[in-house]
Amino acid sequence: MVISNIKLGFAQKKVTDLSRKFSLSAQESSVKRVCVILDEADARLMNKFKEFAKDLNVKEDNFKMLICLSTRSKEKDLESIVFRTSDLTWSGKIRNSEIQNLLKEHFDLLISFTAVESKTANFITAALSADLKVNRREETASGFDLTISTGYKELDVFMTELKKYLKILNRIRE
């Protein structure tokens, strides 16, 4: 646990400057590329987020799902990219090629919907490039453009509110 926190600390320092460079862009008027970050407790929500992306008219190849797992947990044939603290080196570099490729992409919308405080999810959220970063937890609001404060079991409320905000920001059209 301590080793994981140290590795995340080194990696977080590298990401801090990058996260300040990106902000909500008014140039693009619609959401075309979406990334969703979940933790292992949320893996069962994958299908609901896929449906949400379809509702936003996001093409399947422009939708990415990332699951943050603990080092000890076993993968269960997840249809997503998996990130663990063991994917980090001591110098803060990422060993996982799927994550490295994901970090090269830019998203219109990044959603972090985690059940618990996850340093791994917070790190990867900061490292990813997105025009709009949204989460559901007020405790982790720094680094996000929008926080929709809902309970963990209120996914439908979260999605409804997010759609409302996207309409207000002229990011989706109906």
- The domain ranges of the chain are 2-168
Q: At 112, is the secondary structure helix, strand, or coil?
A: strand
Buried b (16+ CB within 10 A) or exposed e, 67-92: bbbeeeeeeeeeebbbbbbebbeeeb
Per-residue model confidence as pLDDT tens digits over 72-117: 666 665 678 888 888 888 887 888 899 999 999 999 999 999 877 7
pLDDT of residue 2: 57
pLDDT score for 23: 45
Q: With a cut of 70, which residues of the chain have pLDDT below it? A: 1-29, 71-78, 139-141, 171-174
**pLDDT value at position 35?**
95
3-class SS of residue 157: helix
pLDDT at 125: 87
In whole angstroms, give the CA distance from residue 106 to residue 27.
14
pLDDT of residue 28: 47
Nearest residue to 131 (alpha-carbon basis) of 26, 48, 59: 26
Only one residue has tokens 């939708």, namely: 63
Name the CATH topology of 2-168: Rossmann fold (3.40.50)
132 - beta bridge partners?
Answer: 109
Extract the tokens encoding 6: 């140290």
Write down the pLDDT at residue 162.
Answer: 93
CB atoms within 10 A of CB 160: 12
